[in-house]
A and B are shown apart, each in its own frame.
Chain A
Amino acid sequence: MLCKQLQLIGQWVLCRLAGLGGALFMLLQSLLVLPGRQGLQRLLQQLYVVGVQSLIIMLVSAAFIGMVLALQGYTLLVDYGSEQAVGQMVALTLVRELAPVVAALLFAGRAGSALTAELGLMKATEQLASLEMFGVDPLHRIVAPRFIAGVLALPILVIIFNLVGVYGGHLVAVEWLGVHSGAYWGNMQAAVSFIDDIVNGLIKAVVFAILVTWTALYQGYHCIPTSQGISAATTRTVVYSSLLILGFDFILTALMFGGL
């Protein structure tokens, strides 16, 4: 009985490992060939899809998150007479944690699911098979530009997210709650370090971008090419990427800020 249970666990682990290995292999294979001029054009196209088209949702979310942080921080800090520190609180929370994580979660929902569905549909309509028959490797032509675009786009979006969030906090803290503008910026500038906070936050963004884009493309490329299969793969993309983002966020935070 126990033996059988162990065997089942073993099978499950091996199956997962094989999947992971397959995904890693796919990633390497798709990136091995250097893109030419045409490749750049395709990269641009994908940057538009995953980057520019995700911009609005990022801007709106960032503004609201900055505003909420300022409001919450103010009500907490005002009891200790330290409401000037609200700028520092908003900036550090955003730059270190919330901007990379929230932007990556939104990115998984907005761009990741779209990538999976697009690839799944290409598979279902035999476009991938068709490319193969024309002697074109779909990993190079379809997967690689999307992967690179995703990895480039998310850090840019996180930078913009940071700035918009900080100004959203400024709007609430300074314009509405009456914190002194100089204190808002001054405390922030004293507390935020470019290398330790902003750059570390961006490293997180790059890691999350790899995780989300990779998951999305793998799920799309290997989905069952039916409408049910595609919708299941899209759901898996969002669920797996969200879990990966949160899990890796803890690990990265421990490495960067946990004093390990």
Chain B
Amino acid sequence: MSKTNVVEVSNLHFARGTRSIFSGLNIGIKRGCVTAVMGPSGCGKTTLLRLIGGQLIPQQGQVKVFDQVLHSLNREQLTQLRARMGVLFQSGALFTDLNVFENVAFPLREHGSMTADELHDKVLLRLEAVGLRGARYLMPAELSGGMARRVALARAIAMEPELVLYDEPFAGQDPIALAVLQRLIRALNDSLQMTSVLISHDIVEACAIADEVILLGGAGVLAQGSPEALLKSTDPMVYQFMHGQADGAVPFHYPAPELITEMRTATARSHIQTSVMTDHQELK
């Protein structure tokens, strides 16, 4: 199989209830790269992440991680495989009853067989990497959103995984926290020789650190390539998404009859007519 692809999704079909999310999806994630998977809300980005993590089973097709077909593994093999993966969940998913130190120590305690001193040092190293060594005795409830996500990141990389999945790492972060996360993701990827998959719809932030962008939409891959190439793309869908325009190939309006035909009062109708007319005049 491919030596360079860490994750290979081939002919994937997945539906939630009657709603089809993927039909015939094919994706390859290259080793050592930061790959950004982008797309509009509801296109199945988080579902894809769950499929790669082996938490969902595809209805058709297969997901291969480290050249192993996920749904053919038994529980123990899956656990072993997951030990080589780190996931940063959208909400951080810190365990609310454990403090920062214990949260980061959690995967080490579950998988590793290290002494208390080794564990202590390793956790401090991970926390140092995200700049939160001093916050190790705080509880998750006492952390700001950005700090919580950095702790979650430290926990995700505690086992030195070969593959890290980030689910919307930039959502709801202030500019400083965002810059910190960006720097961390890129730096960790390069210094630990990891492969990173970034699920996001923050185009600018994701493109700034991604080597490769996969644009999802309409149940499959819309476009794939370097961020520069996608930004230059002339495909109307790609262009609209990459440049963040309200109207375009994906219309701003939910399909509906003409507004004027649905108005009941004469004043509203005349108001619409005049505003349409002034719009036309302005355009001229």
Whether A and B are associated in the same complex: the answer reads yes
A residues lining the B interface (CB < 8 Å): 124-127, 129-130, 132-136
A126-B90 contact, Cβ under 8 Å, with A133-B82, A134-B106, A135-B82: yes
Residue of A nearest to B95 (CB): A127
Cβ contact within 8 Å between B95 and A135: no
- Nearest-CB distance from B188 to chain A (Å)? 18
Cβ contact within 8 Å between A135 and B83: yes
A125 and B170 CA atoms in complex are apart in Å by 16
A136-B55 contact, Cβ under 8 Å, with A126-B91, A130-B93: no
A7 and B55 CA atoms in complex are apart in Å by 34
Cβ contact within 8 Å between B111 and A125: no
Residue of B nearest to A136 (CB): B110
From A125, A126, A133, A136, name the one whose CB has the most chain B CB atoms within 10 angstroms: A133
Given the complex, which residues of A lie within 8 Å of B96, measured CB to CB?
125, 127
Cβ contact within 8 Å between B110 and A135: yes
A129 and B82 CA atoms in complex are apart in Å by 12
A253 and B272 CA atoms in complex are apart in Å by 72
Cβ contact within 8 Å between A129 and B89: yes
Beyond A125-B92, A130-B93, A133-B53, 10 additional pairs, beta carbon < 8 A: A124-B91, A126-B89, A127-B94, A130-B89, A132-B55, A133-B87, A134-B107, A134-B110, A135-B79, A135-B80
B residues lining the A interface (CB < 8 Å): 50, 53, 55, 78-80, 82-83, 85, 87, 89-96, 106-107, 110-111
From A127, A132, A134, A135, name the one whose CB has the most chain B CB atoms within 10 angstroms: A134
**A-B contact count, CB below 8 Å?**
41
A126 and B149 CA atoms in complex are apart in Å by 13
Cβ contact within 8 Å between A126 and B93: yes
Residue of B nearest to A118 (CB): B96
Given the complex, which residues of A lie within 8 Å of B111, measured CB to CB?
134-135
A85 and B198 CA atoms in complex are apart in Å by 75
- Nearest-CB distance from A193 to chain B (Å)? 44
A and B contact pairs by CB, cutoff 8 A, 12 listed: A126-B89, A126-B91, A127-B95, A127-B96, A129-B53, A130-B87, A130-B89, A130-B93, A133-B55, A133-B85, A134-B107, A135-B79
Given the complex, which residues of B lie within 8 Å of A127, measured CB to CB?
93-96
Given the complex, which residues of B lie within 8 Å of A126, measured CB to CB?
89-91, 93
A129-B93 contact, Cβ under 8 Å, with A134-B82, A135-B82, A135-B83: yes
Given the complex, which residues of B lie within 8 Å of A129, measured CB to CB?
50, 53, 55, 89, 93
- Nearest-CB distance from A6 to chain B (Å)? 24
Given the complex, which residues of B lie within 8 Å of A132, measured CB to CB?
55
- Nearest-CB distance from B282 to chain A (Å)? 43
From B53, B91, B111, name the one whose CB has the most chain A CB atoms within 10 angstroms: B91
Given the complex, which residues of B lie within 8 Å of A135, measured CB to CB?
78-80, 82-83, 110-111
